[in-house]
Structures are given as structure tokens and as C-alpha cells.
Structure 1
Amino acid sequence: MLKNEIGALILRITLGAIFFIHGVVKFQGGIENTANWFESLGLPGVTAYGVALLEIIGGILLIVGLATRLIAALFALLMIGATVKVKLAIGFLGNGQMAGYELDLAFLAIAVYLVINGSKLFSLSKRIFHRDSTNAKAI
């Protein structure tokens, strides 16, 4: 049981850090540029702000272990959207100018794992809500 929780902790923190950094880079590189790129894909430019904020705030929440399943579900949806809208046409390994969807697929798999299993080890949710499955009553 502890090995599974250690693995989930590693996945949770890694995915959170990756998304956090991606969100920060969107603002550092000029969020307007990202918004323009979203518009070139046929998406509203304001979507770039929502995605960047989700990546930053969601990344922090994953790292600290708060609302892990919810945030992981949102990241899974984000990865599905990115893959279908942008990366699928480029191919699994890319086209030489842009990366393919192999990394997006890995992030999707990690997010889905966290949605299914959660991650309680060193999580703020466990501290705040004091959830202990050994005390749960059988249904």
C-alpha cells in the first residue's frame, strides 16, 4: 500500500510541477502571443488565459495535494483537447517542426491514474479533511 502511495505522490508532484511551469511560461512569453496562437487554431483567445491559470493554480494544487482528483480530471480534459485540436494531425512523434502527441499522451495517462487512485501521501486534503479509509464504515 505504501509503495502505491509513494508512486502516486511522485506522479502528483511531477505532473503538478510540469503544468505549473507550462502555465508560468505562457505568461512570461507574453500571454497575448499564446492568445493569438489559440485564435489561429480557431479557439477564442481568452481561452489561453483560462488554460494558463488552470496550469498554474492546478499545478500548485497538485503539488500540495488539494483537490487532486478534480485537478487531474481537468488536466486530462486539457490533454485530450490539446491532442485532438493540435497534435493529432502532426502525428505521434511530430513532424520535425513540432513535437507530436507522445508527451501529451503520457501526461494524460498520469492524470487519469490520479483521477482513479488519488494521492493521499503528504496531501493537504488528507490533513484538512482527516480522511482515513480504515475508519470508513462498510456499505
Structure 2
Amino acid sequence: MLENADVGKLIIRLTLGGLMLFHGIAKLLNGIGFIEGELASHGLPTVLAYGVYVGEVLAPLMVILGYQTRIGALIIVFNMLFAIALVHAHQLLSLGGNGGWALELQGFFLFTAVAVIFLGPGRYKLKN
């Protein structure tokens, strides 16, 4: 029988990594021009935009596979902090159209990644 805590960790990893990976795939298909523009508008080098591929493709794959999971989750945390600071800072204390927090999705990614850092990958993972 499966250990409940390890199954729960696997579900959290697959959810966090899978949902974040969709954002990375969209950037692979559509480019990172928007992110380059946001960086430039904040006086930051646009080459930093390529970091989104690490934060939204590589790190989610690490989390999904359970390979260096805590490092992958930490990268996602930094990715989300940059996204919130560059694009969503004005929404930090705002409600969305349906009454929830305007940054629910960003908050989910950020705080779930923090939880994965503390929880670790669980039993069901690639061997490190």
C-alpha cells in the first residue's frame, strides 16, 4: 500500500511542476518578448529574460521528476518573486474579478514551491 504522505508529496510535485511547465511551454512557443519589455521598463538587462526558461521549464521538470526537487522548487520561488515584482506588484493587495485574491495563481506557485522546499520530494522520485 502507498504511504499517504509520499503520495501527497507526489501529487503536490506533479501539480506544481505540471501547471508551471505549461507557462514555460507557452514561452518556448511564443517567445519572451513580453518579459524582455518588462525588464527593460525596470532598467534591468533584457538578457535576464532567458532565466524564465530555467524557472518555467527546467525547474518544473526537476520538481515533476523529483530530481534535485528542493533546488527546482527554490528556482520556482525566485521565478515567482521576479514575476510578482516585475508584473504584478500593483495587484498585491487587490481582489480579482470573482472576489478572490488577484494573485491567486502566482500565490499558488510561490507558496506551493515553498512547501515543496520544506517537504522534499517524498519516496516517489528519480534517484539523486
Normalising by structure 2, report the TM-score: 0.81
Task: Name 2:43's counterpart in structure 1.
Answer: 42
Which amino acid is the alignment partner of residue 27 of structure 2?
K
Q: How many residues align?
A: 124
Q: CA deviation at 1:94?
A: 4.5
> For the residues of structure 2 that align with 1:106 and 1:72, how far apart are their CA atoms?
13
List structure 1 runs of 4+ shifted beyond 6 angstroms.
none
Q: How does 1:76-95 map onto structure 2 within 5 Å?
A: 76-90=77-91, 91-94=93-96
> For the residues of structure 2 that align with 1:40 and 1:27, how far apart are their CA atoms?
22
Q: CA deviation at 1:76?
A: 1.3
> For the residues of structure 1 that align with 2:32 and 2:114, how far apart are their CA atoms?
28
Q: CA deviation at 1:33?
A: 3.9
- Structure 1 residues 22, 54: CA separation in 2 closer, same or farther (over 3 Å shift)? same
Moved more, 67-76 or 85-94: 85-94
> For the residues of structure 1 that align with 2:48 and 2:96, how far apart are their CA atoms?
24
- Structure 1 residues 51, 15: CA separation in 2 closer, same or farther (over 3 Å shift)? same
RMSD: 2.4
- Structure 1 residues 19, 121: CA separation in 2 closer, same or farther (over 3 Å shift)? same
Task: Name 2:120's counterpart in structure 1.
Answer: 118
- Structure 1 residues 29, 41: CA separation in 2 closer, same or farther (over 3 Å shift)? farther
Normalising by structure 1, report the TM-score: 0.75
CA contact (8 A) 2:74 2:113 kept: yes
SS state of the match for residue 90, structure 2? coil
- Structure 1 residues 42, 101: CA separation in 2 closer, same or farther (over 3 Å shift)? farther
Q: Larger RCO: Structure 1 or Structure 2 (Cα < 8 Å, ≥ 6 residues apart)?
A: 2
Q: Which runs of 5+ in 2 are unaligned?
A: none
Q: CA deviation at 1:111?
A: 0.6
Q: Percent identity?
A: 33
